Amino acid sequence: MSRIPPAVLALIRERSGGLCEVCGRRAESTHHRKPRGMGGSKDPAAHSPANLLRVCGDGTRGCHGMIEADRTGSYGHGWLLRRGEPPTCVPVLLRNRWTLLTEDGQYTEVPW
């Protein structure tokens, strides 16, 4: 399994301001919206800024744990992506705001 390139990790850390992009607490981990098991690190988009979220907790606690435990709700909030869904095209609920994530590590507000 490959690691997130340091430049991409720095970009999403800057985007999040060090806070969980879901709830606003201190971010502790990086979450892949498209699960790595659905393309893994062989998929060039796996480590793209639009596919990554900085979140609190880990795979069992905090927002990271919530995303993993409630997969149905996480798909509905854009925190997880289904096979074939491009990360830049699926809105995600971040800190009570619907937004799109861009490949350059920025947010674009959804106009609805």
Q: Give me the pLDDT at residue 69, please.
A: 96
* Alpha-carbon span 51 to 53, nearest angstrom: 7
**5 closest CA partner among 33, 38, 44, 36:** 44
In the chain (112 residues long), the average pLDDT of successive 10-residue segments reads 86 97 97 75 80 94 96 97 93 96 94 75
Q: Give me the pLDDT at residue 111, please.
A: 79
Q: Per-domain residue ranges for the chain? A: 6-109
Q: Give me the pLDDT at residue 2, please.
A: 67
Q: Is 31 left (phi over 0), alpha (psi -120 to 50) or beta?
A: beta
Q: Give me the pLDDT at residue 102, please.
A: 96
